[in-house]
Chain A
Amino acid sequence: MNDVNPSREPSRGLWCDIRVRMRRDRGALIAGAILVLLVALALIGPSLSPYAYDTLDWQHLALAPFNTSSHLLGTDRLGRDLFVRALQGVRISLLISLIATAISVAVGVTWGTLAGYVGGRLDGLMMRTVDILYSLPYLFIVIILTTLFTRGSLPVLFISIGAVGWLTMARIVRAETLSLRKREFIEAARATGLGTGAIIWRHLVPNLLGPVIVYATLTVPQMMLFESFLSFLGLGVQEPLASLGSLINDGAREMQSAPWMLLVPAILTTVLLLCFNLIGDSLRDALDPRER
């Protein structure tokens, strides 16, 4: 035990920790800035343009980008403005992936902490459920879900994508909970008379936040990719709405004649995924206790 504490930094909590450490990571800072910029653009960009995402401009069909008209990034083969559609796609993709991630965090953390903390039979039951769900071919389930309900209905998409994400989250949270449960501060809380719910909420969840945040940040791009994949297959967002995946699907068909229709959404998707992954990696480094 060190009696003279070497760190002279002021008191800090989790968020302060993250800030201090991430500030040193140039890559994550740039990724964060690009992400903020893209989100802002997706929110206000479409309203700056004279076109809506579903306006058809018959004068300019399949127009190449950077032309003299007001279509900054050109148009698709129906004359819809690609700039607006791409930003609309970013909106939808972000919305779906964020909500799906939120679902997976909420369900996964609850499931994992309960299974890990209560343990015994409940743990066995809950984790075998996860194992069974894991072994189901979830793509088929999503296909069935989307055909049972209205095709492309957003709530169905949120639920079906979120239902896949929480499995891994639950496993990660349970493993962390198991190691935390043996720590003496949990025993001290039990000796104080705190109930199971209070221990999970006050002591386990705050100490789990680190890995949960990291995994959630890495889940967002996974979800986005999954959504793109579903939309690419035609199971996701339906016309005239657009997501990055459906735009890529459309663009791929015109790859030979109008490559920009593929390139615009593809580049946006790549940049978004890269940003999320960079931030996630940086968060993981910032929160890893071994780095301290």
Chain B
Amino acid sequence: MRWIPVSVEDPTLRLESLDVTFETPQGEVRAVRDLSLSVAPGECLGVVGESGAGKSQSFLAVMGLLGRNARVSGRALFAGVDLLTLSRAGLDRIRGSRIGMVFQDPMTSLTPHVRVGDQIAEPIAHHRGASRAAALQRALELLRQVHVTDPERRLRQYPHELSGGMRQRVMLAIALACEPSLLIADEPTTALDVTIQAQILSLLVELKQDHRMAMILITHDMGAVAGVADRVAIMNQGRLLEIGSTGAVFKSPQQQYTRSLLASVARIDAREPVPAEGARTAASALALTDIRVEFPITTGWLAAPRVLRAVEGVSLQVAAGEALGIVGESGSGKSTLARTALRLLPPDSGQIVWLGRRVDDLSARELKPLRRDVQVIFQDPLASLDPRMTVSQIVAEPLQVHRPALGAPERQAEVIEALTQVRLDPALAHRYPHELSGGQCQRVGLARAMILRPRVLICDEPVSALDVTVQEEIVALLADLKRRSGLAMVLISHNLAVVRQLCERILVLYLGKMMEQGCAASVYSEPLHPYTRELLACVPIPDPEVQPGRLARALPGEPPSPLAPPSGCVYRTRCPHAIDVCREREPQWEPTRGRSGAVACHRWRDPGVAP
């Protein structure tokens, strides 16, 4: 059992009936209502809720960072001072010095044209009056604390030269620069891959213990909270619903909302079995053979273009009624592969076969009638809908292309049927996309894809931009569509827990290459490739009894640049089992588990490496 601080000490921050109201042209919006909570030194409070719950607004209000149209009332006591009554100058002495902050997007939170070292040194010089040399020395020390590799070099780099995970570490270093007594982290890992997410979360745990800071972790991710937080506050629609020790809230939630939130999280350790692989009698609906996609990267006028190998030697087959999950970190070539399979990008070599017909050498004109059988939905639900068209125009467009003879009333009937099929109210047909919620937009995208009754549906991260409860609905809808229409589905996702709910077979990609492929049951229960194992280990489990231990085992390391992939096995730079042969030779794609799976690893059979 973990140490849960008892409130003998004075809390670091105490909120008393905090209210936040926004004046908007449509009237007042009450973002936060009557919020009271506290956080003690050395304690991490997880604040959980879906979008619109008011969790970020509460703490932005505390820091005085809300826009001019916001009204804040109540009290926010920090070290005996009510932050809400402080002048700007008074707040400036506290912000960035005694309270540190980390935001979601590490890309936009750093100034692009200032070197990393100077960005860390700035608050030190500002709040402590240290000299530049001393501040830079301290910056170096901080980078070591947040486990940035090669910190001396990083000091002189610009933010765009760092990976997302590195940038988030730099953000943490800046937040920690003046040894704050409170750290507010607002969705610090949402924009990161699962592996990097696990590293950052375990770093947060370490920092909290080393510095005895109070920490507030604002997130929508129950798994992240389970691994890091000592206490949890659940918020919904601006209200605090429930607060208590993490163990208690997860084990016996008092509120219906908390229960539904916990129930809708896709869990990698779910009790339901993974979809079983059926008899492979059905003909293959989509087949890719040895696909290679390269992008020339021009760095300047005179420099020779470098080649980025986005996808190399990938083959896959999906049969009707079957779902294949493609997983991997960002940069693994998942989306490029999807666009190639759709023939939105031309492959540099390899074959693409749709429903038994080879399509990689067809012209756009020849391809057009075939496109109705292979459809797609995208990650960003809003961006995938034309903002100047209404829902019914969007959904009807494929009909105009492929069944131009259809009259307006019939077309309208088809649109209404498609909307009903994705469980969307047909009354929304005359709305514009920006008037819909994320989940509704994704349903419109799905209706557009399904209206032609395609045989193959490619889903590129279909739920990762959505709230967990909405995710669950969309996943259920996809499962239902697949079952009823015998659709062949390719599901691309970085979320292995979501893939587990839908897919019979899994393909693991790393730096554009295939690492492992197999039926879901065996990949999840006994992954053969060390990378698959690492991916699975990093998926957070919303269970405070196991998640802290899982976090502690997260491996360090980030994917290398795809412009300069490692020799031999591309995964060797992060692999705990790498030996000489991994550097020298590229591993073969070897069949395993009878004929259903395959793996590319030199050591998958070696004792101590094999599971």
A residues apposed to B, CB below 8 Å: 1-9, 11-14, 183-185, 187-195, 198, 202-203, 206-207, 209
Contact = CB atoms under 8 A, between A and B. Distances in A.
Given A3-B467, A187-B344, A195-B368, A13 B388 contact: yes
B436 A5 contact: yes
Contact of A183 (B342, B383, B398): B383
B430 A2 contact: no
Contacts of A192: 371, 375, 397-398, 401-402, 448
Contact of B385 (A14, A185, A190, A191): A185
A96 to B, nearest CB: 32
Interface string B436-479: 11110100010010000000000000000111001000000000
Nearest to B26: A8
Contact of B24 (A1, A6, A194): A6
A207 B388 contact: yes
Interface of B: 24, 26, 29, 50-52, 339, 342, 344, 364, 367-369, 371-372, 374-376, 378-390, 397-398, 401-402, 430-432, 435-439, 441, 445, 448, 465-467, 470
Contact of A11 (B364, B390, B438): B390
Contact of B26 (A9, A206, A207): A9
Contacts, number: 105
Nearest to B397: A192
B467 A1 contact: yes
Given A8-B26, A184-B380, A194 B388 contact: no
Nearest to B368: A193
A15 to B, nearest CB: 11
Given A6-B24, A6-B29, A193-B368, A187 B339 contact: yes
13 contacts: A1-B465, A2-B51, A3-B50, A3-B437, A12-B432, A183-B384, A185-B384, A187-B339, A187-B376, A191-B342, A195-B364, A198-B401, A209-B388
A12 B402 CA distance: 29
A3 B52 contact: yes
B376 A188 contact: yes
B437 A193 contact: no
Given A6-B29, A8-B26, A185 B383 contact: yes
A11 B435 CA distance: 8
A3 B439 contact: yes
A212 B473 CA distance: 40
Contact of B448 (A1, A188, A195): A188
B114 to A, nearest CB: 24
With most chain A CB atoms within 10 A of its CB, the pick from B367, B378, B438, B466 is: B378
A7 B26 contact: yes
Contact of A7 (B379, B435, B467): B435
Nearest to B52: A2
Contacts of A7: 26, 435
Contacts of B389: 206
A14 B388 contact: yes
A203 B376 CA distance: 18
A5 B402 contact: no
Given A14-B388, A184-B383, A206-B388, A3 B51 contact: yes
A5 B29 CA distance: 12
Contacts of B383: 183-185
B51 A188 contact: no
A28 B430 CA distance: 31
Contacts of A14: 388
With most chain A CB atoms within 10 A of its CB, the pick from B382, B385, B387, B438 is: B387
Nearest to B399: A192
A198 B448 CA distance: 17
Given A6-B24, A8-B26, A207-B388, A1 B397 contact: no
A193 B372 contact: yes
List the 10 shortest-distance A-B pairs measured between CB atoms, nearest first. Answer: A1-B438, A193-B371, A184-B384, A206-B388, A184-B378, A3-B437, A193-B368, A185-B386, A192-B398, A184-B383
B344 A190 contact: yes
With most chain B CB atoms within 10 A of its CB, the pick from A1, A13, A202, A209 is: A1
A209 B50 CA distance: 35
B26 A1 contact: no
Contacts of B390: 11
B435 A5 contact: yes
With most chain B CB atoms within 10 A of its CB, the pick from A5, A187, A194 is: A187
B54 to A, nearest CB: 12
B344 A191 contact: yes
B432 to A, nearest CB: 6
Contacts of B372: 193
B530 to A, nearest CB: 34
Given A4-B52, A190-B344, A207-B387, 12 more contacts: A1-B438, A1-B465, A6-B26, A184-B380, A188-B376, A188-B378, A191-B371, A192-B371, A193-B367, A193-B401, A206-B386, A207-B388
A194 B386 CA distance: 14
Contact of B470 (A1, A8, A209): A1
Contacts of B386: 185, 189, 203, 206-207
Contact of B51 (A1, A198, A202): A1
Contacts of B430: 11
